[in-house]
C-alpha cells in the first residue's frame, strides 16, 4: 500500500464514529424517568452534540436549553453522571468509550420538562442583594480605583450565571426548606464583590454588606466545602476569594463595627 493510501485509511479509521449510550431524563417535575438512547459520537464532540443528535434522529420533542455552545451564555447547565456541568463544554473524550452517560436536569431547581429547569429562584435571590451605592461626593467620571481593586473584582465578574454552583451546594440541593434563607454561593459572592468595592458607599448609609450576608442571606449556612468552586466553569475561586473573606469580615465587624466604618470612609477618600 502506498504511503498516501495508508494515510487515508488511518484518517478514515480516526473519523469513524463510535456508538455512545445515553440515559436521559424525560418528563416533568411530577412524572418521568430515564430513557435509553444510542447515537453516534464523533471525535471532538461534546455531550450537547449528542443530545442534539438524539433530538434530530429519535426524540424531536426532547427539551434542552442552550444558546452559545461556547461556554459563555450559561444556559446548558445540567448534570452528567450526577455532576453539574455545562453540556456544551463537556467533551465525550472525558468518559470511557463503553460508559453509559446519565444526563439529568439540575437537581436543585424544579424541572419544567426533560433537561430544562426553572431557575427563577436565582433571579429572586439576585434581587435581594442590595445594589452598588454610588459615592455621594463623586460625580460619574470622577470615580477612580486602584488596579489592585479592579483585578480583585474582575475574577467575580467572569460569572456566566450558569447556576451550577447554586445547584451543587448541599445547603439547598437536598434541603428545599433552606432556600428561603440562603442566597447561595453565586449571590453571596456578589455581596462579597460589592463589600470589597472601594467606591461602594453602602457603609455610609448604614448598610453593612458582610453582616447582611451573614444575618439575612444565609452566609452562616456555608461550611466552606468548596463544592461550588469545583464545578464553576469559569474557575472562579468562590470559596477562597469571596466566601471565606466575607465570613471573616462579618465576624470582625460584629465585634468592632465603628473601626470598620471609619477605615472604609478614610480609604475611599484616599482613593486607595
80 lies in the binding site for ligand SF4 (CB under 6 A)? no
Binding residue (CB under 6 A) for ligand SF4 from 116, 222, 246, 250? 222
What whole-number distance in Å separates Cα of residue 214 and Cα of residue 211? Answer: 5
Phi-psi domain of 189 (left: phi exceeds 0; alpha: psi -120 through 50; beta: other): alpha
Binding mask 39-78 for ligand FES (x = CB under 6 A): ---------------------------xxxx-xxxxxx--
List the single partner that 75 binds among ligand SF4, ligand FES, none, CB under 5 to 8 Å by kind: ligand FES
Stretch that binds ligand SF4, among 33-41, 91-99, 168-176, 261-269 (CB under 6 A): 168-176
CB 25, CB 32: distance < 8 Å = yes
List the single partner that 226 binds among ligand SF4, ligand FES, none, CB under 5 to 8 Å by kind: ligand SF4
CB 84, CB 164: distance < 8 Å = yes
185 lies in the binding site for ligand FES (CB under 6 A)? no
Closest distance to ligand FES from the beta carbon of 75 (Å): 5
List the single partner that 105 binds among ligand SF4, ligand FES, none, CB under 5 to 8 Å by kind: none
Residue 35, burial from CB neighbour count under 10 angstroms (0-12, 13-18, 19+): middle
What whole-number distance in Å separates Cα of residue 5 and Cα of residue 124? Answer: 61
What whole-number distance in Å separates Cα of residue 116 and Cα of residue 14? Answer: 34
In the block, which residue shows the cell 467606591?
A: 199
Q: What angle do CA 183, 188, 191 make, to 5 degrees?
A: 120
Binding mask 239-268 for ligand SF4 (x = CB under 6 A): x---x-------------------------
Chain residues in the site for ligand FES (CB under 6 A): 66-69, 71-76, 86, 88
Binding site for ligand SF4 (CB under 6 A): 159-165, 168-169, 171, 185-186, 222-228, 231-234, 236, 238-239, 243
Amino acid at each position: 500500500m502506498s504511503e498516501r493510501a495508508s494515510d487515508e485509511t488511518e484518517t478514515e479509521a480516526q473519523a469513524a464514529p463510535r456508538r455512545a449510550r445515553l440515559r436521559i431524563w424525560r418528563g416533568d417535575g411530577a412524572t418521568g424517568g430515564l430513557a435509553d438512547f444510542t447515537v453516534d459520537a464523533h471525535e471532538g464532540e461534546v455531550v450537547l452534540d449528542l443530545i442534539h443528535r438524539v433530538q434530530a434522529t429519535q426524540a424531536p420533542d426532547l427539551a434542552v436549553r442552550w444558546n452559545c455552545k461556547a461556554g459563555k451564555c450559561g444556559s446548558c447547565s445540567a448534570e452528567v453522571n450526577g455532576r453539574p456541568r455545562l453540556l456544551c463544554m463537556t467533551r465525550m473524550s472525558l468518559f470511557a468509550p463503553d460508559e453509559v452517560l446519565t444526563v439529568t436536569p439540575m437537581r436543585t431547581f424544579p424541572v419544567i420538562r426533560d433537561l430544562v429547569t426553572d431557575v427563577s429562584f436565582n433571579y429572586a435571590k439576585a434581587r435581594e442583594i442590595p445594589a452598588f451605592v454610588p459615592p455621594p461626593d463623586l460625580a460619574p467620571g470622577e470615580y477612580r480605583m486602584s488596579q489592585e481593586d479592579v483585578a480583585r473584582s474582575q475574577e467575580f465578574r467572569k460569572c456566566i450565571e450558569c447556576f451550577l454552583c447554586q445547584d451543587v451546594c448541599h445547603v439547598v440541593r437536598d434541603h428545599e426548606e433552606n432556600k428561603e434563607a440562603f442566597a447561595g454561593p453565586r449571590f453571596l459572592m456578589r455581596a462579597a464583590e460589592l463589600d470589597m468595592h472601594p467606591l461602594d458607599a453602602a457603609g455610609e448609609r448604614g448598610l453593612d454588606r458582610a453582616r447582611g450576608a451573614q444575618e439575612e442571606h444565609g452566609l452562616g449556612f456555608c461550611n466552606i466545602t468548596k463544592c461550588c468552586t469545583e464545578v464553576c466553569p469559569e474557575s472562579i475561586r468562590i470559596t477562597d476569594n469571596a466566601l471565606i473573606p466575607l465570613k471573616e469580615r462579618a465576624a470582625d465587624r460584629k465585634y468592632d463595627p465603628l473601626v470598620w466604618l471609619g477605615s472604609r470612609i478614610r480609604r475611599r477618600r484616599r482613593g486607595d
